[in-house]
Structure 1
Amino acid sequence: MITASAFQPVDTVQPATGDIHLYMCEFAHSSAMQCRQAMRSRLYAVLSGWCGRTVSADDLHRSEHGKPTLRNGGPLHFSLSHSGSLGLIAVAWDTELGVDVEQPGKPRAVAALARRYFTATEADWLARCDESVRQDAFLTLWTAKEAVAKAIGRGLAYGLDRIGFVAQSGDGRWRLDAVQGEAGPAARWQCHPLQPGRACHGAVAWRGTPRPIQAFRFFR
């Protein structure tokens, strides 16, 4: 688990050869639109640092499934996610990756959501787990599944029920157990849980061998 204390303060971006870099962004803006705009500005700054040139909105495009990519970026890959006032950017060379973050809000109907999107085994486990941890366990699993789906490049369209996890304990920790279809098998994948802030849930995932993860947070 990579927690908030692992995110080291940084004001400049230094690319790394084989590491996964995570950048946490915290915003004080009042509206969702302002947070999205600030997140985009941070993304351009990160990509500019890695590319060694200025990156702007014109350098980005979306795949047929909506995943943002960098024009003429070569082997550079990235993923971003934000929830409320917190955002995460993941960057790496030579591997597709995905990152997702969720901040808890009002309680969700997690049992119904799990029956709709998750595997039967996962939904059954969530239904049985203690009510005091069920919301957090759901968000931990949701972000892990979405991180893998984003790394595949299709997001929810791939089918979260095709990405299976098994519960490791009663406190909501999960292990990737199955990736069905062309993106599998699960043994080829790395998926790491994140807790970038108090009560926040997240995950970063990529297909390939284990890599070091370096975590940073921007000065406000």
Structure 2
Amino acid sequence: MLRQSRFSRFTHRAAASLRACGFTPPHANHARVVVFDSAPWWPLRDDAANLLSPYESARAARFRHALDHDTYTVAHAFWRVALGMVLNTDPASVDLARSPDGQPLLPGTGLTTSLSHSGTMVALAIARGAAIGVDIEGFPSRTRLQDIAGILCTPAEAQTMSTLEGEARDRALLELWTRKEALLKAFGTGLRIAPATIDADIDRVIQSPDGIPRGQACRLYPLSMPIGWLGALALGECTSNHSLHHV
């Protein structure tokens, strides 16, 4: 049960929505993924902002456009509510640290977590395990995907993409991008590792890149997303299963 929060309106509504979609704390070697549209929550953005850490508040203030600011604010506040439910603590008190490469950390909890947002859509993931990464993207993409194929694809992946045309190729490239983003988050490297140097196959264990201390091999899973969105989840191979919850 989530402890009483001094920021009750957003916290209580978010917690009620999480419970309604079946979200509960993950058990050992299990991951929970929550997907939701942030736009209906924007009227509560000021209340949500009270949950953010000074670091998160500073990041939110840098966004020029209201959509980006409000999505970031709601995403991080909702993330904190979910973590607070798992840790049985006030969302504002969750010790959400970051590695030098930006990987979110929950020191001393045995939990790993990841967050992604694109447009107004948000995905958050929490696991009892050593590695997790989630990524979502809107489709069609606003980025010219063919322009990034050279930095995204391994030679084998590039060969596969060359057999596709038009929308099928764009979709395959964006699916590949979400898988690689999820993997790099799980490995804790971000784009410090070139995406074209790692394979991102769904049906096999993927070893962590050389030089990553205590890196854990991962598996990739596609996420069932609303129409117009694609998503991927990377989990350490010891995390045996996951559940997806749509708010």
For normalisation by structure 2, the TM-score amounts to 0.72
TM-superposed deviation, 1:127: 2.6
1:206 and 2:217 aligned: no
1:44 and 2:80 aligned: yes
2:92 aligns with: 56
Structure whose CA Rg is larger: 2
Secondary structure, aligned partner of 1:165: coil
- Aligned partner of 1:111 among 140, 143, 146: 146
Q: Any conservation in 1 of the 2:151–2:194 contact (CA below 8 Å)? A: no
TM-superposed deviation, 1:199: 2.4
TM-superposed deviation, 1:210: 5.1
- Distance, in Å, in 2 between the alignment partners of 1:163 and 1:178 is 8
Residues 46-195 of structure 1 correspond to what in structure 2 (within 5 A)?
46-56=82-92, 59-70=95-106, 72-105=107-140, 108-165=143-200, 175-176=203-204, 179=207, 180-182=209-211, 188-195=217-224
1:22 aligns with: 33
- Distance, in Å, in 1 between the alignment partners of 2:125 and 2:195 is 21
Unaligned runs of 5+ in 1: 1-8, 167-173
Q: Any conservation in 1 of the 2:152–2:177 contact (CA below 8 Å)? A: no
* Structure with more contact order per residue of length (Cα contacts < 8 Å, sep ≥ 6): 1
- Bigger helix share: 2
TM-superposed deviation, 1:108: 3.5
Secondary structure, aligned partner of 2:109: coil
The number of equivalent residue pairs is: 200
Secondary structure, aligned partner of 2:199: strand
Q: Any conservation in 2 of the 1:111–1:127 contact (CA below 8 Å)? A: no
Is the alpha carbon distance of 1:197 and 1:162 closer, same or farther for their aligned partners in structure 2, counting shifts above 3 Å?
A: same
TM-superposed deviation, 1:81: 0.2
Is the alpha carbon distance of 1:207 and 1:16 closer, same or farther for their aligned partners in structure 2, counting shifts above 3 Å?
A: closer
TM-superposed deviation, 1:190: 1.4
Letter in 1 for 2:161: L
Secondary structure, aligned partner of 2:122: strand
Unaligned runs of 5+ in 2: 1-15, 43-65
TM-superposed deviation, 1:162: 2.3
Letter in 2 for 1:206: L
Deviations 1:73-124 (A, max 9, x none): 4201100001111110010112210000001245543233111232122123
Is the alpha carbon distance of 1:111 and 1:11 closer, same or farther for their aligned partners in structure 2, counting shifts above 3 Å?
A: closer
Is the alpha carbon distance of 1:135 and 1:46 closer, same or farther for their aligned partners in structure 2, counting shifts above 3 Å?
A: same
Secondary structure, aligned partner of 2:200: strand
Identity within the alignment, %: 24
Letter in 1 for 2:153: F
- Bigger strand share: 1
Is the alpha carbon distance of 1:199 and 1:106 closer, same or farther for their aligned partners in structure 2, counting shifts above 3 Å?
A: closer
Is the alpha carbon distance of 1:137 and 1:126 closer, same or farther for their aligned partners in structure 2, counting shifts above 3 Å?
A: same
- Distance, in Å, in 2 between the alignment partners of 1:210 and 1:96 is 8
TM-superposed deviation, 1:11: 3.1
- Distance, in Å, in 2 between the alignment partners of 1:33 and 1:104 is 21
